[in-house]
C-alpha cells in the first residue's frame, strides 16, 4: 500500500509539470489577444507573425484543454499515460503549423485521453462523465485540426466552446452527486446531443447556429436546475452552509447568467449579425468559462493541495473581472454607436482581465494559509 501511494505521488509530481504548459499558454494567449486588439484599434505596432498560434488555440486548446487533463489525471494517476497532457498541450499550441507531426501528436494525445477516460469508467463504474469528457475532446480536436483552428470558422469556434461547456457541465453533475437523478440523466443526454451537433457542424456545416443556441439554452436551464436542488460538494468534502458555500453558489449564478445570455445571442444571430461573433465569443469565453474557472479555483486547488480553503477568495476581484466582461460585451453590442469607445475598451479590459485574474488566483492560494 505504501509503495502504491508513493508511486501515485511520484506520478502526480511529474504531472504537475504539464501545468507549466497551460500557464505559459494562458499568459501568451492573453498577450496575443491584447496585441491583436491593439492592432485592430489602430495602434502602431508590428503585425503578429503568422507562425504564432491563434488566440483560441492557445486559450481553449493548450490552456484549458491541458488544465482539465492534468486535473483528471492528477485525481486518477496512470503511470504509462503521464505523457498525455504534455503532448496535448504542445500539439494544441503548435497544430497551426503546416507540419503533419503536430496533427498526429494531437490525435495520439486524444487516444491517450480516451484510454484514461475508459480506465476512469472501469474504476468508478460510471460511464457518462468519462464519455462526455472524451467526446468533448473529440470536438475540440476536430476544431483544432480544421483550417486556422478555432479562428477558422464560426462552427469551429462553437465546437471549441462546446468542449469547455460540456466538460464543465459534466463536472457540475459529478460535484453535486446528482448523476443518479432523472434530471441529471436528461442533462447528460442533452450534453451528448450538444457535442454531437457541434462535431457534425464543425465537419460539415449543416446545422444553423440558431439550433446550437436553442440546445445550449436547454443545457443552461438544466445546469441551473441541477445546481439549484443539490448541496454543493467538493471532492468528498461537504461545504458547510457558510461563506464558502454561499460564495460558490453566488459565482455559479453569475456564470449561468452569462451562458444564458450567450445562448440567446446565438439564437438571435441573424438579428445581431454585425456584432454577433464578438458578443457570443466574449460572453461564453470571458463570461461563462472564465467565471467558472474563478468559481472552481478553490475546488481544483483543494483537490491538488488535499486541504480545504479557510476563507473565501476576494469578492472584489471576482466582480471587477465581471465588470470588465460587461464593459467588453456592452461595447461589442454597441460598436456601431461608438467605434471609439469600442476601440479603447478592448485592450484596456483585456489588460485588466489579466491583472484581476492573476490577483484572484493569488487570493485563492492565500485562502489556504
For residue 41, give the 3-state DSSP assignment.
coil
Average pLDDT over residues 229-257: 67
**End-to-end CA, the chain:** 30
Give the list of residues 6+ apart from residue 205 with CB closer than 8 angstroms, or none: 153, 155
C-alpha 296/C-alpha 341 separation (Å) is 33
Give per-residue pLDDT as tens, 43-75: 677 887 877 888 889 999 999 999 999 989 988
- Measured CA distances, 181 to 46, 186, 188, 256 (Å): 55, 9, 11, 21
CA angle, residues 112, 114, 115, in degrees to nearest 5: 65
Q: Is the pLDDT of residue 162 over 60?
A: yes
Residue-wise burial string across 26-52, b where 16 or more C-beta atoms lie within 10 A, e elsewhere: bebbbebbbbbbbeebeeeeeeeeeee
pLDDT tens readout for residues 3-50: 456 677 788 888 888 889 998 999 888 888 777 767 766 667 788 787
pLDDT tens figures, 179-199:
667 888 899 999 999 999 999
DSSP annotation string for 159-217: HHHHHHHHHHHHHHHHHTT-TTSHHHHHHHHHHHHHHHHHHHHHHH--S-HHHHHHHHH
Task: Answer yes or no: is pLDDT of 233 > 50.
Answer: no
Calculate mean pLDDT across residues 130-135: 97
* DSSP codes of every residue in 201-248: HHHH--S-HHHHHHHHHHHHHHHHHHHHSS--EETTEEPPTTHHHHHH
Quick one: average pLDDT of 117-125? 95
Q: At 123, is the secondary structure helix, strand, or coil?
A: helix
Taking the CA of residue 129 as centre, how many other CA atoms within 13 Å lie in the half-sphere pointing to its CB? 22
> What pTM was estimated for this model as a whole?
0.90
**Whether residue 160 has pLDDT greater than 60:** yes
Which of 198-207, 240-249, 258-267 is modeled with the greatest confidence? 258-267
Amino acid at each position: 500500500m505504501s509503495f502504491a501511494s508513493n508511486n501515485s505521488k511520484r506520478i502526480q509530481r511529474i504531472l504537475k509539470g504539464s501545468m507549466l504548459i497551460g500557464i505559459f499558454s494562458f499568459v501568451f494567449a492573453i498577450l496575443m489577444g491584447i496585441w491583436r486588439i491593439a492592432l485592430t484599434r489602430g495602434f502602431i505596432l508590428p503585425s503578429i507573425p503568422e507562425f504564432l498560434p491563434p488566440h483560441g488555440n492557445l486559450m481553449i486548446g493548450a490552456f484549458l484543454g491541458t488544465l482539465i487533463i492534468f486535473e483528471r489525471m492528477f485525481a486518477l494517476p496512470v503511470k504509462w499515460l503521464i505523457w498525455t497532457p504534455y503532448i496535448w498541450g504542445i500539439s494544441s499550441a503548435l497544430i497551426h503549423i503546416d507540419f503533419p507531426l503536430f496533427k498526429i501528436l494531437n490525435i495520439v494525445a486524444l487516444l491517450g485521453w480516451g484510454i484514461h477516460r475508459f480506465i476512469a469508467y472501469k474504476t468508478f463504474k460510471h460511464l457518462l462523465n468519462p464519455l462526455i469528457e472524451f467526446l468533448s475532446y473529440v470536438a475540440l480536436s476536430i476544431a483544432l485540426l480544421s483550417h486556422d483552428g478555432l479562428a477558422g470558422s464560426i462552427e469551429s469556434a462553437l465546437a471549441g466552446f462546446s468542449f469547455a461547456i460540456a466538460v464543465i457541465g459534466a463536472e457540475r453533475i459529478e460535484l453535486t452527486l446528482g448523476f443518479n437523478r432523472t434530471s441529471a440523466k436528461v442533462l447528460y443526454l442533452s450534453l451528448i446531443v450538444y457535442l454531437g451537433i457541434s462535431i457534425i457542424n464543425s465537419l460539415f456545416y449543416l446545422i444553423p447556429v440558431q439550433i446550437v443556441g436553442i440546445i445550449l439554452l436547454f443545457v443552461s436551464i438544466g445546469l441551473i436546475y441541477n445546481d439549484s436542488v443539490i448541496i454543493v460538494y467538493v471532492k468528498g468534502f461537504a461545504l458547510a452552509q457558510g461563506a464558502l458555500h454561499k460564495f460558490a453558489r453566488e459565482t455559479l449564478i453569475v456564470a449561468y447568467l452569462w451562458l444564458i445570455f450567450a445562448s440567446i445571442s446565438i439564437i438571435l444571430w441573424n438579428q445581431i449579425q454585425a456584432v454577433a461573433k464578438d458578443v457570443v465569443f466574449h460572453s461564453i469565453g470571458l463570461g461563462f468559462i472564465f467565471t467558472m474557472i474563478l468559481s472552481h479555483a478553490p475546488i481544483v486547488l483543494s483537490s491538488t493541495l488535499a486541504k480545504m480553503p479557510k476563507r473565501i477568495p476576494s469578492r472584489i476581484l471576482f466582480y471587477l473581472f465581471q465588470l470588465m466582461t460587461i464593459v467588453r460585451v456592452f461595447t461589442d453590442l454597441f460598436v456601431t454607436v461608438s467605434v471609439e469607445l469600442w476601440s479603447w475598451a478592448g485592450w484596456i479590459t483585456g489588460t485588466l482581465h489579466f491583472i484581476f485574474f492573476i490577483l484572484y488566483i493569488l487570493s485563492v492560494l492565500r485562502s489556504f494559509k
